[in-house]
Amino acid sequence: MLVFIIRRLMQSIAVLFVMSLLVFCGVYAIGNPIDNLIPPDASAADRARTIAEFGLDKPLWEQYASFLHNALAGNLGDSFAYSTPALKLIMERFPATMELAVCAILIATVLGIPLGMWSAMKQKSAGSKIVLATSILGFSLPTFWVGLMLIMLFAVKLGWLPSSGRGEVQTLFGVPLSFLSWDGLRHLILPALNLALFNIALVIRLTRAGTQEALLQDYVKFARAKGLPNRRIIGVHVLKNILIPIITVLALQFGSIIAFAIVTESVFAWPGMGKLIIDSIRVLDRPVIVAYLLVIVMLFTLINLVVDVAYSLLDPRVRLSEIKG
């Protein structure tokens, strides 16, 4: 098992290098690299200093090397707009976005899987058709519009929930989280729901298809022949078999959720990375853009690694063949 993890880890690190190279080439090679590190109105002395510090007069691969060196030390330049280290800025906002994203995934799982299973079991019922039709809507509706509608309905018309911002924040293990307080939860529900919508529809579809297929399998018939209660057949036998592909897809969707957080955070003025990156793109605050991209790349690679490991834990056939192989 350990060998497996180490092997995957090595692969991930290799991917990280390639990605950082791409980011570097993409952002630094387009246009004058100096513009990425210094505001246009900086003095000549500052320019010279930065050139020396980042080795911008050296050949490209040396630049990449020093870029990498600096990056590993956490130095990605200072934000033009805020004059604080770009990485620090991103990491300050990181917990807020993660909180939103994790919440969204949880909602998608908790709502999507039962609804999908139910819809597969009661195929002909009106309820099932409604669930399916709603899932098409879930795919089609652009995230930002749903967000607007949610605000319109819950904040403006009904006045139940706040329309923007993050609620009260408490620190847990040094990480500022907001779902621990009632106020925080109130602020969290709408944006999380907004972000989750597409994935709820996706999970419903996947679960439904998976359950339909599973119900036709021999092991379900055998379980019935053993006289097991339906509850157990569906809740244990079928569920464990369909969970694997669903979790895989959801985990891979996590990256997409983080990306779409950009939209949700803009709509709900949620102080996360997404809002920061939009503002930064608008004013061309390149250090922040680069820092964001690198953090995202690391996150995606990490997610892929975790998915691989989790997959092998969940599917005993994979785990054992890895140990043998």
Partner 1 sequence: MEKPVLEVKNLTTHFTSRAGIGKAVNGVSFSLKAGEIMGLVGESGSGKSMTGFSIMGLIDAPGKIVDGSVRLNGRELVGIGEEQMRSIRGNKIAMIFQDPMMTLNPVLRIDTQMVETVLAHQNVSTAMALQIACNALRRVGIPSAGERLSCYPHQFSGGMRQRVAIAIAMLNNPELIICDEPTTALDVTIQSQILSEMQKLCKESGTALIWITHDLSVVAGLADSVSVMYAGRIVESGTVREVIESPRHPYTHGLLGCAPSRNVRGRPMQQIPGMTPQLLQLPSGCAFRDRCARASELCRVAPHLVHAGQGHEYRCFHPMENTREAA
Partner 2 sequence: MKISMQFFRGESPFARLARGYCSSGFAVAGLILFVALATLALLGPVLAPQNPYDLAHLDLMDSRLEPGRLAGDGAMHYWLGTDEQGRDMLSAILYGIRISMTVGLVSTAIALAIGLTLGLLAGYHGGKVETLIMRIADIQLSFPPILIALILLALSGQGYGKIIVALIAVQWAYYARTARSAALVERKKEYIEAATLLRIPSHRILFKHLLPNCMPPLIVISVLQIASAISLESTLSFLGMGLPVTEPSLGLLIANGFQYLLSGKYWISFFPGVALLLAIVSINLVADQLRDVLNPRLQNH
d(CA 124, CA 37): 61
Cα 38 from chain centre: 31
d(CA 186, CA 171): 18
Helix axes 286-314, 86-121, angle to 10 degrees: 40
Question: Residues 77, 86: contact at Cβ < 8 Å?
Answer: yes
Rg of the chain on CA atoms, in Å: 24
Single residue of 75, 256, 298, 315 touching partner 2 by CB under 8 A = 256
User: Among partner 1, partner 2, none, what binds residue 114 when CB lies within 5 to 8 Å by partner kind?
Assistant: none
CA torsion, points 308, 206, 254, 16, in degrees to nearest 10? 40
User: Among partner 1, partner 2, none, what binds residue 6 when CB lies within 5 to 8 Å by partner kind?
Assistant: none
Cα atoms in the 13 Å half-sphere on the side-chain side of 61: 0
| Length, in residues, of the chain | 325
Single residue of 197, 223, 250, 291 touching partner 1 by CB under 8 A = 223
- Check residue 124 for interaction with partner 2 (CB under 8 A): no
- Check residue 218 for interaction with partner 1 (CB under 8 A): yes
- Check residue 235 for interaction with partner 1 (CB under 8 A): no
Shortest Cβ distance from residue 123 to partner 1 (Å)?
12
Shortest Cβ distance from residue 213 to partner 1 (Å)?
13
- Check residue 226 for interaction with partner 1 (CB under 8 A): yes
Single residue of 200, 289, 291, 295 touching partner 2 by CB under 8 A = 289
Residues that bind partner 2 (CB under 8 A): 22, 26-27, 30-31, 133, 136-137, 139-145, 148-149, 151-152, 155-156, 163, 255-256, 258-260, 262-263, 266-267, 277-278, 281-282, 284, 289, 293, 296, 300
